[in-house]
Structure 1
Amino acid sequence: MDNQHYRQNITLQYCFPDNNASCIKEVKEGPAYIFLFIVLSCISVCTVFLNLLVIISISHFKQLHTPTNLLILSLAVADLLVGLFNMPVSIMQLMDSCWYLGTIACYLSPIIGFVAVNGSVYSLTLIAVDRYIAISDPLKYSSRITVCKTLLFIIFGWCICLCYSIMYLYINDYFFQSQTSTHCYGECVVVVKYYWAIIDLILGFVAPCSVILVLYSIIFNVVRHQAKAVIAVNNSNTNNQRAKILRSSEIKAAKKLGTVIFVYLACWIPFYLSSVSVDNLTSSSMVWTVFYWLLNCNSSMNPLIYAIFYSWFRASVKYILTCRIFETSSSRINLFPEN
């Protein structure tokens, strides 16, 4: 019964009926697919909207032009590309197996997709490094980490992501699909070789994930030790109110770091586990689609984790949504209320 219902929901046609080399077209129909289309489209729109808010905030307000916020801006740009390109293309391929945008777009689409995903991971790693330096050596932070140095690291990182993405697709013979006997007109599929999936697992996930986990664990330990030291001093001076505030700050920092690590691992682990569980993982498979969407959802969560938790973001959003950023000298508004 389930198989009959599945066949009824998929109508087999040809992508280009006038072309003898056309691929078979699979159009998904029915209420379930319509609902899925609406949900995924909403996720894509929210991803673009949230990251645009971050980009406009940091770009417009001069008070936010700091090394840390530039890294958050880099992360928002990467996540914006995911929402603008990765998600719509994935929705299109999920609802219709045919590729109608041409050969050039077929080559450029996965490059943009891989650059965006890798750029997001690279930015997350740089944010962890930046926070580690700021916490472990705060006195030398301003001299060691400057806006110019940060911009150079961001540009260098994006260039590395572009080169890595092109090499990734080149090694997997993506640019030579027309030479394969299984190729048909109207197809745009990435097939990942098993050995390269292992390499990508190490370079694209294990290495940056290890750096992020180690640095955030060190950050948490440093913050905890600093809080305990100050609390001990305050307790000796019977300043219990100050001690309670520091303890509350420690708990908030722990929750924020825990949220960062949990969301990152939850979104990325399933995709990479699936990539090494089969010999050749193709982008047209349902396993790839589900876990790739889960990975992309990390781009929706990043602006919530890294920006909405900050008071300056909430303040800047009010100015943006009320169009007050168009007022004279709005870029010099103070977004940090006095304590």
Structure 2
Amino acid sequence: MHNDTERPAGCELGRGARISLSTIYTFMSVFGTVLNLLVIYLVVTFKKLRTASNAFIVNGCVADLLVCAFWMPHEAVAIFTGSTLVVGYHVFKEALLFLGITVSLFSHSLIAVNRYVLITKTPATYQSLYQKRHTEWMIGGSWLLSLGCLLSWLTSFRYPKERCVDTLDATASFAGGISVMLNPFAGGTLAFTVIAQTVIVLYCYFKIFRRVQISVKRVSILNFQIVNNLPYSFPRKDKRLGFYVLAVCFIFFLTTEPIFWVLVAGLFAPVPVALWTSAWIIFCTLFVSNPFLYTWKNEEFRKSLRSVMRGDFWRGSTVGVEPITINTISHIFPRQNSRRAFLGEMN
């Protein structure tokens, strides 16, 4: 029988390492929880933010809270004190971690596809695809799919005997306990989910970037007089949008690929603890930065935040609509409306 009060010999981390890791987890937990709760609060409070695009962002924030607000504090305490949890509660904690990670990754893809349709397709296509019921099914599907993977892991879970060696497989717990990724099925599922969502995110954003660059060249060549009368600087904002989508791709790729390769390597051979720890910490920063990553360029979020800071809570009663508009020059630029809507979201 597994003894939850005893730890294998040699499992004690150095005091400096424990303090450093617990401090990192504590900082990420507090910062990530505050940011995710703030985004959820703004969307719930201000009706003008209740759009399909923001619904996917909120879905990701809820998933991130399972990691930042629940798992990280437990892990920080376990690392600092060197204590372990009873088997049942430990499995529950790791199950929520697995669920939060997978739903968060699915949310990244939902956001990317939503913006891809918004910027590259016609407004009619976007409005038809992202009706309220369709959006709810997409969000519910991300949770159902994650729960299906989680149940498969739970049915095959066997709590192994703890061990401490210089090299553990890529799924060992930092606190010396057993991580959810120790199960080959869970580790393989996470690796597949990471690479699949990376492909989707990169494809969608590079398609958006290519569309933006083509639009800038087209406007520059055609030089219609009506373009000069638009209520905003079309080429300049399109260029900024191109750099923004590349930044999103870079951050997502930078935070997910290290853990992907470590997980894949861990399926075949032991991985040094230092390498696994570094990749995992980088991966965890994704759950902290998500709210900022998807809202810092959105003027509506900034206005709502300023309203909250000033105490103008009554402004949340403003009825909002999806940022799709029809203008009189749509026959000249058939996808101008979609591009303008996306620019409005980002700026």
SS at match of 1:277: helix
What pairs with 1:99-138 in structure 2 (closer than 5 Å)?
99-100=84-85, 102-138=86-122
* CA distance in 2: counterparts of 1:150 and 1:283, whole angstroms: 40
Distance 1:199 1:304, change over 3 A: closer
Alignment check: 8 A CA contact 2:103 2:146 kept: yes
TM-score normalised by length of structure 2: 0.77
SS at match of 1:276: helix
Number of aligned positions between the proteins: 309
In structure 1, give the amino acid aligned to 2:92. Answer: L
Identity percentage over the alignment? Answer: 23
Give the equivalent residue in structure 1 for 2:145: 160
SS at match of 2:265: coil
* CA distance in 2: counterparts of 1:231 and 1:242, whole angstroms: 14
Whether 1:317 and 2:305 are equivalent positions in the alignment is yes
Alignment check: 8 A CA contact 2:43 2:50 kept: yes
In the alignment, structure 2 segments of 5+ residues that lack a partner are: 165-174, 324-343
What pairs with 1:21-40 in structure 2 (closer than 5 Å)?
23-24=8-9, 26=12, 28-30=14-16, 33-40=18-25
Whether 1:67 and 2:72 are equivalent positions in the alignment is no
Whether 1:287 and 2:275 are equivalent positions in the alignment is yes
In the alignment, structure 1 segments of 5+ residues that lack a partner are: 1-13
SS at match of 1:26: coil
Alignment check: 8 A CA contact 1:189 1:282 kept: no
Distance 1:48 1:195, change over 3 A: closer
Distance 1:242 1:182, change over 3 A: closer
Alignment check: 8 A CA contact 2:209 2:246 kept: no
Give the equivalent residue in structure 1 for 2:264: 276
Task: Identify the range of structure 1 (192-201 vs 50-59) with the bigger mean alpha-carbon deviation.
Answer: 192-201
SS at match of 2:205: helix
* CA distance in 2: counterparts of 1:106 and 1:296, whole angstroms: 19
Task: Identify the range of structure 1 (84-93 vs 308-317) with the bigger mean alpha-carbon deviation.
Answer: 84-93
Deviation at 1:229, TM superposition (A): 2.5
In structure 2, give the amino acid aligned to 1:105. Answer: Y
SS at match of 2:12: strand
In structure 1, give the amino acid aligned to 2:285. Answer: C
Q: Which of 133, 145, 161 is the aligned partner of 1:148?
A: 133
TM-score normalised by length of structure 1: 0.79
What is the CA deviation profile of residues 76-111 of structure 1, one whole-angstrom value per residue up to 9, with x for unaligned ones? 1112222112322332343344313x2321111111
Distance 1:282 1:150, change over 3 A: farther
Alignment check: 8 A CA contact 2:149 2:189 kept: no
Give the equivalent residue in structure 2 for 1:84: 69
Whether 1:192 and 2:178 are equivalent positions in the alignment is no
What is the CA deviation profile of residues 211-253 of structure 1, one whole-angstrom value per residue up to 9, with x for unaligned ones? 11111111122222233323333x2539668699222112211
